[in-house]
Amino acid sequence: MSALKAVLAGNPNSGKTTLFNLIAGTHYKVANYPGVTVEKKEAKVHYEGNEIILTDLPGTYSLTAYSLEEVVARDFITTTNPDIIVDVVDASNLERNLYLAVQLMELDKPLVLALNMIDMAEKRNIRVNAELLSEKLGVPVVKTIARDGVGKKDLLEGILKFKAEGRKFRISYGSDLDPALEEMEEIITENAFLTESYPARWTALKYLENDAEVMKKGEAFTDVHSRLSAIVERVEKHLKRTLDTYPETIIADYRYGYLKSVLKDVVKKENETERLYLSDKADRLLTNRVLGPVIMIAVLYGLYEFTFWASETPVGWLESFFGWLGGVADAALPEGLLKSLVISGIIDGVGGVLGFAPLILFMFFIIAILEDTGYMTRIAYMLDRVFRAFGLQGSSVVPYIVAGGIAGGCAIPGVMAARTIKGTKERLLTILTAPFMACGAKLPVYALLIAAFWPGSKGGLMLGITLASWLLALIMAKLLGMTIVKGDNSVFIMELPPYRIPTLKGLLFHAWEKTWMYVRKAGTFILAVSVILWALMTFPGMGEERAAYYEDLIAQVESTVTDEDAQAEAIAEIENLAAAEELRGSYAGMIGTSMEPVSKLAGFDWRTNIAVIAGIAAKEVVVSTLGTAYSLGEVDVEEFAPLSERLANDPDWSKATALALIVFTMMYAPCFVTMVVIVKETGSRKWGAFTLFGYTIIAFIAAAITYNIASLM
């Protein structure tokens, strides 16, 4: 017996994915739909000897596609030809949710309605007669409460029992549209126009709705497309002249009219005029023009604080583990290249990726709370007007905050958090600009330079850098949206769903799923890059003759200096000098030295050049690399007082140099793991390359301008 193919469709916030997780449990796989970055969840479910292949489609309000998710959902239904569609509807808001069901029935596909969140409807004194609704629509209706596990068995039985072919479903669209629909349907049928994908009447409706995706496919058939377009143009002119409206408006009105007739006697609302729901009461406060933004800032700050507070201990455990692992390798392996490769190239590289895993776990846990409670939508609602002025959406604020919008975040989970943004263009702009935030890895660089040149202004300058990062990200989003990021701004439909209490199981499920995807995706690339960077900073070194010279110096100190403390200090100084010379003699050092004629325009010498190159691996490496280059050995990112003193007293450094490096650090290429995540999230290597080369060039120009202006001042 072949497996039954079923898909879950439904509006956002209808509980569709919760229902999918209930049915599938943990036995599902996550991939991307072909050619796009939208995720696809698929599970094989076994029930009473039958196998059901269940796919969770992206949430969509309509089959007239505006967003990428809606295009993907519709194309999957029409091209894969599933055996049955399960439309998950919110029982407390049936009229709006059933608008999608009407369009699914117009596809002449077998349909089952999952009447979800029936408990929420009853709490609102809304009573739904499921049997009568099933009779009027002619499709099975199953009551479910996904978050509590209610209705799973009934829904699976409904899927297995309802295997009939889809019936012909027709709605009258009035005397203005029905004749045109019949004429178009006849042309489509006679010419087999797109009939391998869509029913003829459905295609005609899409033409009347000016559906860009369907019409683009139809352009390949020039003659038929022209005839259909002529009919549409004739209808549009008639409606504009007689009713001052458009075909898509008429279609929507008739669909809602049909639903009103269906829901008569099906839905009964008790004491509706006297009842102000809890969500409405909460919104009076939480979306208030004055108090709303204040509460939002407090919530976002709490998100940031909790994420980094909660992840601090497990991050410390992982750091300790990889430190211990490095110690084991240090004791077990003889001195030489293999030891350096294993410790510096492999353990430190992989540890750098996995060290972020707890941070990402807690970040997605908090985002899941904001989404499942319904507060995330309120954030987008309050900030949408401001962010839209820069080509973004209100939803972009969370990725910005997580990436370091309050100073100290991380660009990796910030980029991943952009998945919550529905618009394709806005999501891409957010992904590309989130790395400008003052992430935790950049803070040591800022702190080092402030301590060296503005020791009394740490708090004020840190705040200024944070605010400048926000402004920079928004301006860059605007510029990118006007130039290289092509596409129209999406239609941003904001629905304020009722507040709900999320389940702990659902939150943990969501957080673990996203964290595992990060570890799997980012971890597979970082090892190779770590080895490459290690090689660049190791080979060819300073040569045997110079190495022997430093060994002789150490031997002389050991034989002539009797005081143990003085001897250890002298040996450490020699080893630091050797490390600095070896770094300069490496390929990275050669690159840094060769760049000096140009980099001097921004005040950067070869040592700074090496540091910023190393910063592409991880921004915190900038401090330790400068420590090595200035013969101070490995410098802890939190204990850099000797290095700040060295920079402050170095004649090659000035406040202008420091300011230029701050500007450069704010703008140049994000760390490599972030670039890997950007490539994965955008589905294109070109955006990873743009953040590496494009941002670095822009950053250098800005740093050079800053340095020269500051030098004159």
* Mean pLDDT of the region 143-171: 78
Distance CA 176, CA 235 (A): 8
CA distances to 64, 194, 209, 422, 594 from 235, in Å = 19, 22, 11, 32, 69
Highest mean pLDDT: which range of 10-19, 544-553, 688-697? 688-697
The pLDDT tens digits of the residues spanning 31-55 come to 554 555 566 788 888 888 888 888 8
Q: What value does the mean pLDDT of the chain take? A: 82
Here the contacts of 269-274 (C-beta below 8 Å, separation 24 or greater) are 269/124, 269/125, 269/126, 269/127, 270/125, 270/126, 270/127, 271/125, 272/125
pLDDT of residue 160: 82
Reported as a pLDDT band with limits 50, 70 and 90, residue 637 is very low
pTM, full prediction: 0.64
The pLDDT tens digits of the residues spanning 446-469 come to 878 888 898 877 667 877 888 899
Distance CA 47, CA 40 (A): 22
**Cβ-based neighbours of 184, under 8 Å, separated by 6 or more:** 203, 204, 207, 208, 228, 231
* Mean pLDDT of the region 501-526: 70
Buried b (16+ CB within 10 A) or exposed e, 240-257: eeeeeebbeebbeebbee
Reported as a pLDDT band with limits 50, 70 and 90, residue 217 is confident
Q: Tokens 């609602």 label which residue?
A: 381
Q: Which residues pair with 31 in a beta bridge?
A: 40
Question: What DSSP element (H or E) covers 127?
Answer: strand 126-128
Distance of CA 603 to the CA centre of its chain: 36
Topology adopted by domain 4-161: Rossmann fold (3.40.50)
| CB neighbourhood size of 614 (10 A) | 25
pLDDT at 628 over 70: no
pLDDT at 588 over 90: no
3-state secondary structure (DSSP) of residue 53: strand
What is the full DSSP assignment across 257-307? Answer: HHHHHHHTTTEEESSGGG---HHHHHHHHHT-TTHHHHHHHHHHHHHHHHH
The pLDDT tens digits of the residues spanning 276-333 come to 466 677 888 888 888 888 888 788 777 767 776 787 788 788 878 888 888 888 888 8
pLDDT of residue 221: 84
Topology adopted by domain 174-274: Helix Hairpins (1.10.287)
pLDDT of residue 340: 75
pLDDT at 504 over 90: no
Distance CA 460, CA 451 (A): 12
Reported as a pLDDT band with limits 50, 70 and 90, residue 235 is very high
CA distances to 282, 368, 660 from 69, in Å = 30, 19, 42
Q: Looking at residue 492, what DSSP letter applies?
A: -
CA distances to 10, 57, 150, 199, 269 from 103, in Å = 12, 15, 27, 12, 26
Distance of CA 389 to the CA centre of its chain: 21
Question: What DSSP element (H or E) covers 54?
Answer: strand 50-56
CA distances to 31, 88, 111, 136, 600 from 261, in Å = 41, 21, 20, 9, 76
Distance CA 198, CA 201 (A): 8
Please report, to the nearest 10 degrees, the dihedral formed by the alpha carbons of residues 317, 320, 321, 325 taken in order. Answer: 180
pLDDT greater at residue 288 or residue 668: 668
Question: What DSSP element (H or E) covers 47?
Answer: strand 39-47
What is the full DSSP assignment across 590-616? Answer: HHHHHTHHHHGGGT--HHHHHHHHHTT
pLDDT at 26 over 80: no
In 138-278, at which residue ranges do the beta strands (DSSP E only) sit? 141-143, 267-269
Token pair, residue 318, equals 């992982």
Highest mean pLDDT: which range of 175-189, 208-222, 267-281, 383-397? 175-189
